[in-house]
Structure 1
Amino acid sequence: MADCSDDVRLTGRYGGTNLLDLPDEMLSDLLQLSLIYLGVHVNFKTIASLTGVPNLQSFTLAWTNQIRELPNFDNVPKPLPRLE
């Protein structure tokens, strides 16, 4: 998969159903990705694996109340500069 993007911003609408999850393969080969922002997805339960984002610099979850477990961060830079 050729990748040109450097950020993924998925913002739902307050009061809407919005996203429930992301498929694992969504973040499996995004070599240039540096930012992930997931906001206002109150029914969101699982986060895709972070195995394909070696240049991740910022990971933000906002209004994602149902998430009970974070994905493995073994393949992201250490320390992750921004985790919110």
Structure 2
Amino acid sequence: MTAAQEIDAARLAALLAEIAAAEAAARLYDRITTDRDIHAEAAQRADEAAEAGRRKARGMIEDAFPGISWPMIAAAIR
């Protein structure tokens, strides 16, 4: 693996960790019963952050494997 590939792999790993954290935050906010409006907004922001991260991760993965699309990857892991 080249140095550039190692950097890309580290960036992808960090991004995946951020996505997991955002998803966990969204689940936490969804379970809180007090101040529902505030927590619903926080959950929505966390969901949006996770989705933005997923889009970026898909782009990074597709860029790393030219000619391979995300639907192809998703089908292969099912």
Q: TM-score, normalised by structure 1?
A: 0.28
More strand by share: 1
Question: Scaled by the length of structure 2, what TM-score is found?
Answer: 0.29
Select the structure of larger CA radius of gyration.
2
